[in-house]
Structure 1
Amino acid sequence: MAENKKFDPQALVEEIESKFELFQILNEEGEIVNEAEMPELSNEELVELMTRMVYTRVLDQRSISLNRQGRLGFYAPTAGQEASQIASHFALEKQDWILPGYRDVPQIIWHGLPLAKAFLFSRGHFAGNQAPEGVNVLSPQIIIGAQYIQAAGVALGLKKRKADAVAVTYTGDGGSSQGDFYEGITFAGAQKSPAIFFIQNNQFAISTPRSVQSVGKTLAQKGIAAGIPSVYVDGMDPLAVYKVTKDARERAVAGEGPTLIETLCYRYGPHTMAGDDPTRYRTTDTDNEWVAKDPLVRFRKFLEAKGLWDEAKEEAVIERAKEEIKEAIKEADKAPKQKVSELINNMHRGDLPYNLKEQLEIYLEKESK
């Protein structure tokens, strides 16, 4: 007869948590520590990945400067998250759909959204929400976590169409505390829809430390409740992020359902440029600890050791980025100024309620003068 054992729910939690080990391929010195998991990337692809990461860092620096000059509106800095953002996108295909959060503009730019439109989005211009034909992106979601539900719906649509594509979405560690987060992964898991859900754990949901949000060892383990594969990856390691994303995509298009991926990373700047001061809730020691893990430094060391990267190549990328950003902001400046009448007509199709009809008439008259 089997021995009776006292049921210990806490031990069960600890057993599950012990399974989530941080997946890594490159250490902080740019050395391969997991040869068996090295992704199949050509030298040209490795250089292109680095090129996109450097370009994105420059874009972040210039966007912060443009914001301070009053030439951009809402902006959420991305420095420190290049491996999480760009390496995950690098594993996708053109036909895949991206449903970004407000910090995930770099991914949709590399997916085909023109830079000028990204700047117009920041300014709140409706043209910034109009992606060109064939560019499978939705506008960055401002409501925290809402993109998870949308991604579950898009993924189900792709499944019903038998499309060779996945729906990919991103949120932060704070977003994983939202109800929409659970609804999205639960629905996608139940439907076995081709979705990849990212939690970019950059340690602070605005000013709230991740440790205050959840007592769980990881955020990735939340996917277990939805019955979907879940991964805890070094989000400062571009090769590791690429590999887990590539694997998740292959499973999804093979009909095996969604994956939840937590990328452990850090944002070097403020939460947004709208008055956040990270020095009020982060210490210099914490900042320095993560600066030592910088994804660009790590990947640069790896490529330099292979003879694939040098200072001249990096400077060429930086100058190209500066020039293209300069031209894109000029193009954005040429966009016609928005009118209140356009706002009303864009937001409301068909018959307007009487109060908006009155307002529309008022503004049409003002704008005609």
Structure 2
Amino acid sequence: MLFSPLTLRSLTLRNRLWVSPLCQYSSTNADGMPTDWHLVHLGSFARGGAGLVMAEATAVVPEGRISPHDTGIWNDEQAAAWKRVTDFIHSQGSAAAIQLAHAGRKASVYPEWGTLAGGHAGRGTVPVEQGGWVTEAPSAIAFEPYATPAALSASRIQELVQAFADGARRSVEAGFDLVEIHAAHGYLIHQFLSPLSNERGDEYGGSLENRARFLLDIVRAVRATVDVPVLVRFSATDYTEGGWDEDQTATVAHWALEAGADLFDISSGGLVRAPIPVGPGYQVPLAAHVREHGEVPVNAVGLITTAEQAEQILREGKADAIMMGREFMRDPHAPLRFARELGVEFDEGADIWPPQYVRANV
């Protein structure tokens, strides 16, 4: 099943082994532009046989970047720069995807390794004088120890809905075959969804319908703008009592399906600091829950590292596709290896082995 095709709308993916969006913090000039690093990084996964290669969390507005060195899709110059990446991915037989994102209160922080391109080093919120900015969120509640964000006005919320739609349009112009709306890991849309970070008293806060309104507005706006498949990434639980959970995720996923989304990428955590029971396939039960109770297609992600593990998840009906992150970083050719381990024989014209590498498949 892992190497069987999957069709979403008019897009047929050659297999069900996909690359998770992986933050690289490598837009070196802090201008949101992808670089040679992104070409080689993402291109290597396509060469390695992935069915879908998804670019990292890419900001739809400058204020939506996690760090000053995140990629963006808020202007046409960025879209043009992405084109050579998507062209190479396509040349290797993979589909190209992009994750559209806004980090909300978790924006404007130092890269994971702590140093900006200009030499400034630190942890947490980047000061304005070092290229940081005032963050924005549904409510003025900080993700400690980051800076307290400004609460979004209703008019700014509508501007951001349009920014996601514009980002989707530019993504398609850049050659991406699929877009994913990032509603997970404690970033802006997740901040609206969870009562732990959303204390609004207007139509965007309170009830589940109101907390889901921002996401559903975005899904509808994106669907009205582009014809490509639309994924939504959810964190299915906050791992905290009184927070977002898998039942709410299943309900909102079904609403999003009705609004025009096609498949749901199920992760977890990131909104508040809470212990996460990490282990092999630890998020697979969450994906299975959302698939069953939301009656929606899903992919599973989270410490999936072997061919047998990935194949079993699909055969047991717990997910419709598999995303991997760290395993792909360790081995960009994981699909080639998995195919050999599973004894997959490809039909003529469907082989994922690049002709330059066929000698290794003997």
Q: Shared fold (TM-score greater than 0.5)?
A: no
**Bigger proportion of residues as strand:** 2
**Bigger proportion of residues as helix:** 1
Structure possessing the higher radius of gyration over alpha carbons: 1
- Report the TM-score when normalising by structure 2: 0.33
- Report the TM-score when normalising by structure 1: 0.33
